[in-house]
Amino acid sequence: MKLKHFVLTGAVALAAVPGLATAGDAAAGQAKAAVCAACHGQNGVAQIPMYPNLAGQNEAYLVSSLKAYRSKERNGGQAAVMQGQAAALSDEDIANLAAYFASLPAGG
């Protein structure tokens, strides 16, 4: 019983840590990703070389990047565009988008 209690307590404690990544809902992310297609391609593979591919990207990296754009910590390149896009995203939206793009095959 003690181990079970310890594991449950640890899980609750970890869930309360701010910024700790939780898995998003890829289906919800797909529904939210339509606006991303303009630059990053319909399937997460950009048709224009200056825009990065999102398909197959590491989920935690995508979460970190979107949060950095949202807080305007990430600058340079097309950051102003991404800051504007990310400003409207909740943490849940970000997790869902990251789960969706991470689930796609890298080659499209």
Q: What is the pLDDT of residues 7-65, one digit of tens each?
A: 334 443 444 444 455 589 999 999 999 999 999 999 999 999 999 999 999 999 999 99
The model carries a pTM of 0.78
Token pair in block for residue 46: 């950009």
pLDDT score, position 96: 98
DSSP labels, 50-103:
TSPP-TT--HHHHHHHHHHHHTT---STTHHHHHHHHHT--HHHHHHHHHHHHH
Domain boundaries, the chain: 21-103
What element of type H or E holds 38? Answer: helix 37-40
pLDDT score, position 17: 46
pLDDT score, position 1: 46
pLDDT score, position 75: 93
Which CATH code for domain 21-103?
1.10.760.10
Report CA dihedral (61, 96, 99, 68) to the nearest 10 degrees: -10
